[in-house]
Amino acid sequence: MSSDNPTNCLNMSWRRIVVKVGTSTLTAGGQRLDPPRMVDLVRQLHELRQRGAQVVLVTSGAQQAGREKLGFPETVKSIPFKQMLAAVGQGRLMHLWEQYFDLYGIVTAQVLLTRQDIEDRHRYLNLRDTFAGLLERDIVPVVNENDAVATEEIRVGENDSLSAMVANLIEADLLVLLSDIDGLYTANPRVDADATLIPRVEAIDGSVLLFARGNGTAMGSGGMHTKLVAADMAVHAGTSVVIANGGRENILLDIAAQRAVCTLFPAPISATEGRKRWLLAQKQVAGQVEIDRGAAEALLSKGRSLLPVGIVRAQGKFERGAIVAVIDELGQTIARGLANYASQDLLRVLGQRSENIAELLGYDYGPEFIHRDNLVLL
Ligand code: GLU
């Protein structure tokens, strides 16, 4: 490989990778889902897992699978029609993925999302827990938009953005957007012979967005512009992004081996740092909790989570998922984080040991009031 190898800065410590596959990749440019193409992607995902990475697959193709199943009905440009197609096709799409992952003994889980599921704080925390639970058990989450129920107001509309949201949610190190094009070009390579591939983009500014004009794919919902918007969202949250051609042999392995033809958008900060910044950028806190000296010590010098047992008092009315301030005995704000329990629940469990939560509330969302991953020290 040449020294200006496009992805030289790829970092082998990538441990959590979201791979988004567009419809045109899944159909290999045709009209039908292409099983060899899908199996081949699964083989590569398996290989990445063998090397220690956790992977999440965001897959399009439900609507196309629906079209295929229904014998390619005449296209109607309406949302109910698309919802109908997706409802027919999602089962088939998932069935195929499940079968192919099964060849490698990998268990999959279907996760269907809308914008609302990610933006609503309460659901957001539930989703984080769901992904954490799946990844802990070595299961591959297979994600798509829940098109059958996603009305205009609550839908994301395309999977580039959805995959960036998922990457953010699980603090992925890398998001790979697989399309039918090698990456970002200086112009549309399908019409402009002088177009050249840009191997690395440090910042997605106006001049970069200009490159994406008229640069889309025929079948999926996202063109290059939506990819850049998604990439921008991801890099700001600390996830590096690669746009690459899903039709190239061994593309995922080549990305990992730093020899892929692609465009890389390196994140200037880590995903953990991105999450901390996000927490700090939230202006409003919904309430505050005062903690005892032992808990303050555990937070500040041991990097622990905040448990109900260390909480002395709670103020404010807040929901699960709200941002709360953590105050020490002297009244100083020492941290900020996402509450795992609503204020009315916290009032019943504060000062109590975590193993009693389920009995006191009738359910539990885990032993922490604020998990250390959702906590930023000030
Ligand atoms: N969710 C859509 C589907 O599965 C695809 C959206 C997209 O193309 O980005 O058909």
As a whole number of angstroms, the distance between CA 215 and CA 183 comes to 11
CATH number, span 282-377? 2.30.130.10
Nearest to 10 by CA among 220, 256, 267, 181: 256
Mean pLDDT in residue range 152-160: 87
Tell the residue nearest (CA) to atom 6 of ligand 1. Answer: 158
Say if residues 346 and 318 touch (Cβ distance below 8 Å).
no
Q: How many CA atoms lie within 13 A of 98 on its CB side?
A: 9
Instruction: Look at residue 283 in the predicted model and tell me its pLDDT.
Output: 73
Q: Residue 2 — pLDDT band, cuts 50, 70, 90?
A: very low
As a whole number of angstroms, the distance between CA 132 and CA 368 comes to 15
Instruction: Look at residue 273 in the predicted model and tell me its pLDDT.
Output: 86
In this model, does residue 47 exceed pLDDT 50?
Answer: yes
Q: Is 61 in the pocket of ligand 1 (CB under 6 A)?
A: yes
Pocket test of ligand 1: the residue of 69, 88, 145 to mutate, having most ligand atoms within 8 Å of its CB, is: 145
Mean pLDDT in residue range 247-276: 92
- Looking at every residue in the chain, the average pLDDT score rounds to 91
pTM: 0.88
Mean pLDDT in residue range 152-168: 91
* Two structure tokens written together for 281: 């950028």
pLDDT in tens, 86-95: 999 999 999 9
Q: Residue 137 — pLDDT band, cuts 50, 70, 90?
A: very high
Q: Is 113 in the pocket of ligand 1 (CB under 6 A)?
A: no
Instruction: Look at residue 8 in the predicted model and tell me its pLDDT.
Output: 36
Q: Is 290 in the pocket of ligand 1 (CB under 6 A)?
A: no
CATH number, span 6-274? 3.40.1160.10
As a whole number of angstroms, the distance between CA 61 and CA 22 comes to 7
Q: Residue 222 — pLDDT band, cuts 50, 70, 90?
A: low
Q: Residue 12 — pLDDT band, cuts 50, 70, 90?
A: low
Q: How far is the CA of 227 from the centre of ligand 1 (A)?
A: 13
Locate tokens 């953010």: which residue?
Answer: 168
Tell the residue nearest (CA) to atom 5 of ligand 1. Answer: 60
pLDDT in tens, 161-201: 999 999 999 999 999 999 999 999 998 888 888 999 999 99
pLDDT in tens, 315-367: 999 999 999 999 999 999 999 999 999 999 999 999 999 999 999 999 999 99
Q: Which residue has the higher pLDDT, 5 or 196?
A: 196
Q: Which residue has the higher pLDDT, 222 or 216?
A: 222
pLDDT in tens, 100-115: 999 999 999 999 999 9
The residue ranges of every structural domain in the chain are: 6-274, 282-377
Q: Is 238 in the pocket of ligand 1 (CB under 6 A)?
A: no
Q: Is 158 in the pocket of ligand 1 (CB under 6 A)?
A: yes
Mean pLDDT in residue range 264-273: 91
Instruction: Look at residue 221 in the predicted model and tell me its pLDDT.
Output: 54
Q: How far is the CA of 129 from the centre of ligand 1 (A)?
A: 25
What does the DSSP 8-state code read for residue 197?
B
In this model, does residue 61 exceed pLDDT 80?
Answer: yes
Q: How far is CA 225 from CA 222, 231, 306, in A?
A: 8, 10, 42
Mean pLDDT in residue range 146-169: 90
Instruction: Look at residue 258 in the predicted model and tell me its pLDDT.
Output: 84
Instruction: Look at residue 157 in the predicted model and tell me its pLDDT.
Output: 87
In this model, does residue 214 exceed pLDDT 90?
Answer: no
Q: Which atom of ligand 1 is nearest to the CA of 85?
A: 10
Q: Which atom of ligand 1 is nearest to the CA of 66?
A: 10
Share of the chain above pLDDT 70, in %: 94
CA 167 to chain centre: 2
